[in-house]
Amino acid sequence: MTFLAAAIQLSTKDDKAANLEKSEHLIRLAAARGAHLVALPEVFNWRGKRAEEAAAAESLDGVTLTLMAGLARELEIHILAGSITERASGQPKNYNTSVLIDPDGRYLAVYRKIHLFDVDLLGRVTIKESDAKVAGTEVVSAETSFGRIGLSVCYDLRFPELYRRLAFAGARILTIPSAFTFPTGEAHWDVLIRSRAIENQCYVIAPAQFGPNVHGFSDYGNSMIVDPWGRVLARAADMEGVVIAPIDLDYLERVRRELPSLAHARLR
């Protein structure tokens, strides 16, 4: 079985309406090019100052995911709503939440980012995601007509045990919507994305943010689709847009059959 998947690259700002209009345009473009699975980056619908984040947060039935569900139904595609700031009931902080939507507009999977990005990069970039976010606790995957898809978000990429658990749960495709900083992306993005694909013998779809952002630093971009052998099938240029690549599940099964490292795993 082969189908086309798309990764959308954005430079999201603090105008939610404009961000959603742009996202819709690129989803429609990807679908017109034949994509049956379209993935958006982390915080695709809004990215602004920390003090304004609570007001921009939404519930799962808010305007953003309602729009995404409607597009999935209209275009008859799966949409990975990269991540939104989800309002957490009864808590002062919010979740960073990724949602997989099927062609009927149903939420197949809701994943709340487990690993929060708290770093000080040599005095250049200081980020403390946990100041405004609460971590999720569940490893999440969902069965689709394409096979099982495992969800993650950005900083999760550095924790291989998450992806091994997804692979053992049956995932064939791993989604990693991201907003990687330029310093960490330049150093580690490619090697980590390819490693997660190779070690788990999965396709990886990694849509990302790029360019200067409201927080005063730049995001790395380089949205990618990588096959189970670690080959980069598609990579975005330094611009907003869409990259598309074929997902060949027969090839994935051949890789797993000829190099059965997952079957040989002794530690689970």
Active-site residue numbers? 42, 113, 154
Q: Which one-letter amino acid corresponds to residue 73?
A: R
The DSSP result for 36-55, as a single string, is EEEE--TT-S----GGGHHH
**Alpha helix segments (H runs only) across 126-248:** 160-168, 182-184, 190-200
Q: How far apart are CA 66 and CA 84, in angstroms?
A: 12
Q: Which residue shows structure tokens 């679908």?
A: 31
Q: How far apart are CA 128 and CA 135, in angstroms?
A: 12
The DSSP result for 128-197, as a single string, is EGGGTB-------EEEETTEEEEE--GGGGG-HHHHHHHHHTTEEEEE--B--BHHHIIIIIHHHHHHHH
Write down how long the chain is. 268
111: nearest Cα among 91, 133, 82: 82
Q: Which residue shows structure tokens 């978000």?
A: 153
Q: How far apart are CA 35 and CA 173, in angstroms?
A: 15
Q: How many CB atoms lie within 10 A of CB 209?
A: 28
